[in-house]
């Protein structure tokens, strides 16, 4: 990949290396929490999934829980998921967070350095 990009851009390439992308960042004392205003978002109807989509979803969840890239939420909510077909016939996983975003407290603080 270094040969493809001009040397002036080499310092931007780190996130694109698979080995580095698969490493989980170190745990911090200040992990991100979503604070809700008042109550949980209304329960929405979950989109029906095909067998292939269900299998893909189960694999995604178990793999990412195992790697600690995702964690169970507290309080637990359920948000609809759906898939787009990729050009290679695989599936791209998407979550519809609109209802959760509507009741999320908007914390507008600058991020620590």
Is the pLDDT at 58 greater than 70, yes or no?
yes
Share of the chain above pLDDT 90, in %: 10
Q: Is 110 helix (H, G, I), strand (E, B) or coil?
A: coil
Confidence of residue 51 (pLDDT cuts 50, 70, 90): very high
More confident residue, 111 or 54: 54
Tell me the DSSP string of 70-95: S---SS-----EEEEE-TTS-EEEEE
Is the pLDDT at 113 greater than 80, yes or no?
no
The distance of Cα 78 from the centroid of its chain, to the nearest Å, equals 14
End-to-end CA distance of the chain: 30
| Interatomic CA distance for residues 104 and 41, integer angstroms | 9
- Enter the pTM of the model: 0.59
37-104: CATH architecture: Roll (3.10)
């Amino acid at each position: 990949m270094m040969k493809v990009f001009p040397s002036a851009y080499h310092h931007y390439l780190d996130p694109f290396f698979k080995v580095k992308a698969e490493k989980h960042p170190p745990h911090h004392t200040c992990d991100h929490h979503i604070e809700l205003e008042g109550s949980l978002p209304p329960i929405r109807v979950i989109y029906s999934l095909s067998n292939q989509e269900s299998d893909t979803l189960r694999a995604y969840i178990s793999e990412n829980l195992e790697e600690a890239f995702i964690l169970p939420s507290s309080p637990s909510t359920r948000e609809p998921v759906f898939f787009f077909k990729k050009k290679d016939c695989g599936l791209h996983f998407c979550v519809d967070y609109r209802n959760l975003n509507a009741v999320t407290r908007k914390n507008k603080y600058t991020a620590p350095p």
